[in-house]
Structure 1
Amino acid sequence: MSLLEMAAILLAGLAAGTINTVVGSGTLVTFPTLLAFGVPPVVANVSNTIGLAPGSVSGAIGYRRELRGQRSRLIRLGSASLIGGVIGALLLLVLPEEAFRAIVPVLIGLGVLLVAFQPGVRAWVDRVGGGRTTPENGSWWVWVLVLLTGVYGGYFGAAQGVLLVAILGIGLNETIQRNNATKNVLAGLVNGVAALLFIIIAEVDWAIAGLIAVGAVIGGQVGASVGRRLPPWLLRCVIVVVGCVALVSFALG
């Protein structure tokens, strides 16, 4: 690997770590970069997941202020992310990529719409529920959807954050910043458990994983600093834009 390639992967990791902390979809930066340098797709996906896992931890630490008072919620929803991440990582190793490519754009598009119209959808959910207060840790369907998002995240992960923010925004009575902090922890759990499985049973390019990890850790801190300064409406717009970019990327791919 040349110095130019190493620098490009390091910068891609930094960008991905920043984007993942603010929104999600950092994989859309690192994964194509690795493919452009001739890394086989599965090795690229595995090495990328391992490299981005430390960035998720960094982003969660950066958002620790917004995580206060959410311990029980994180334990409950975190169990769904862990289960989903294990399933998704195993599917990556046994299923062809085409198995998920058909549904991925649909999921991302749905997530973008839910985030864009979140206030109205949230009000509709409240009306349908007869004005009942949403449980602190979310209704049963929030756990189920977080698990399914974990399956997707363990398999590939691009725009996992968009989907999580959409689910949490509708299912929880919280600010978008606190939901974003929760999203970072849940996505981090998915990436972490998938990375652990890949380390044990998959082929890893450790040079690539290490470069991405260094960049992602730095990016996690940058993303936390930037993300918490964004007003709710602007953060929602950023999420929608990144989601749309993900859709275009999949369409062109």
Structure 2
Amino acid sequence: MSSEGLGPFVRTFDRGLDVLTCFSADRAELSAAEVAARCGFDPATARRLLRTLESLGYVDGAGGRYRLTAKVLDLGYLTIASQTFPEIVQPYLEDVAQEVDHSCSLAVLDGDTAVFVARAAVRRVMSIRLAPGTRVPAAASAVGRALLSGLTDEQLTAHFTRFPPVAYTDRTITDPRELLARIAEVRAQGWALIDQELERGVRSVSVPLHDAAGAVVAAVTIGTHTGQIDDDTLFHAILPHLQTCAAAIERTVTIGPVSATMFTGPQPVTPSSRVADSTIDSRPR
């Protein structure tokens, strides 16, 4: 572990963390010599560190072999416990998914992308896959525009200056002035619709979630294939359920103080521009 640029640095603490992280599923048990070799320590240092960690209860040594104990989980428990928002909203998403027979997701804004942090999936032959951690361009997606509706026009102008909109299909709106007008509509009506701007054949609708102060903190969304759902079903069946879901989450979850860490959860964020399970290529055109 490098200490460059970190300021005051406790090397012994650093080495102790190296010892803890040198264990893995493939190497659940290690000798002091093996720890030394993996961490680049001399054997005497490795033994001292292992004995210290054993006395603290983080490793268990028997027969010259060491393994991590369950106490190691305590190191990450508080972080995980403070990032439970995806688990809290999951029942709401599942209710909507069951009612409309389409997968429902929740996302938050991160720079120029919307990051999906929770999802209730419905099994279909043709499905739109947006697993937690998936990212989609904010300007070209319904969930992204719902999230961007929480910004002022001045903030949006600065946003599009920093992140110039790009085209993903021949329908993608890239003119910042037109995007401002579309997002103003989202802000006024309380929902966003994208028709094949991100992917050909994919239409999505989204509703923003507000905290007690009225700030947009997340958005729920449902994506459909244009050949499966007509406009009447989208507006009169799917959208009302999504609005009801958003209102319920606002009443029971986001009505209290909201922190950014609530939404990220323990899921790894893996950048992806693939939205559907086939024939999808959302590289800029």
- Structure number with the bigger relative contact order (C-alpha 8 A, sep ≥ 6) is 1
The structure whose residues are more often helix, as a share, is 1
